[in-house]
Structure 1
Amino acid sequence: MTSRRPSVLFVCVHNAGRSQMAAAFLTHLAAGRVDVRSAGSAPAEHLNPAVVEAMAEKGIDLTGLTPKLLTVDDVRASDVVITMGCGDTCPVFPGTTHLDWRLEDPAGRGLDAVRPIRDEIERRVQELMAEIGCG
């Protein structure tokens, strides 16, 4: 990576669970050392309440956040794009690192089912931080 802050985009279908958790963990853990965004290929109306509750258990407040639509500009502006089950809907640009994290979808699941997904996302975000030089 260059001397400027790296930019990471997390993408899932609804931007209501996985990508929001990943963006929140990276924002929290990187403490301003990374530009972080999240978006969805078909955004939901609101975040999954179990996701909001699971993140609150980690001291991260997602209340007030809303799912956002993925744009080509989001991808173009990112050094790293991490998809989570959105298939081929994410455009690919040369010079951008694209990773696919296969994670269970927390949609429609309760808090007990969301916690292990949340914890796996946190683990992967910590690994990502080391890979992009801010861990």
Structure 2
Amino acid sequence: MASRPSVLFVCIHNAGRSQMAAGFLRDLAGDAVEVRSAGSDPGPSINPAAVEAMAEVGIDISDQSPKLLTHEAVETSDVVITMGCGDACPVFPGISYRDWQLEDPAGKGIGAVRPIRDEIRTRVQSLVAELLPAQPAS
């Protein structure tokens, strides 16, 4: 793994789960990890309930926009975390893949998005502890 590991979060629309995960990783790891997110079929904009849920914990993802998943993004990542992108996720040898089974927040209100956000935060905290073992997770 490179001196600065890179992590790619992938879901279908890159509008909810992957954006929340990327927001938490940026917040927890700072510049120590290169953070990317993408979608196999990007939506038109970030899910407003995901933006609101993240704002509640002090993380602003309102400036993000859904991005199309590319082979290059996968090839140049050390860890690829999928969240329901199905067969659209390209697989390359030598890359660590993880599949996080998370409910899709699309079309759900803030009350339903909060537990998804909290589960993502727990998983990202574990990921930070794994990628940056010398640094305490916050």
Runs (4 or more) in structure 1 with deviation over 4 Å come to none
The alignment of Structure 1 onto Structure 2 pairs a total of residues equal to 134
Secondary structure of 1:95's counterpart equals coil
Give the structure 2 partner of residue 59 of structure 1.
Answer: 58
Deviation, structure 1 residue 133: 2.5
Gaps of 5+ in 2: none
Question: Structure 2: which amino acid aligns with 1:82?
Answer: I
Paired residue for 2:101? 102
Once the two structures are superposed, the pairs formed by residues 21-40 of structure 1 within 5 Å of their partners are 21-40=20-39
CA RMSD of aligned residues (A): 0.9
- Calculate percent identity across the aligned residue pairs: 67
Aligned to 1:123: 122
1:63 Cα shift? 1.3
> 1: distance between equivalents of 2:128 and 2:60?
21
One-letter code of the match for 2:93?
P
Shift of residue 31, structure 1, vs aligned partner: 1.2
1:93 equivalent to 2:92? Answer: yes
TM-score of the pair, normalised by structure 1: 0.96
Partner amino acid, structure 1, of 2:31: G
* Structure 1 segments unaligned to the other structure (5+ residues): none
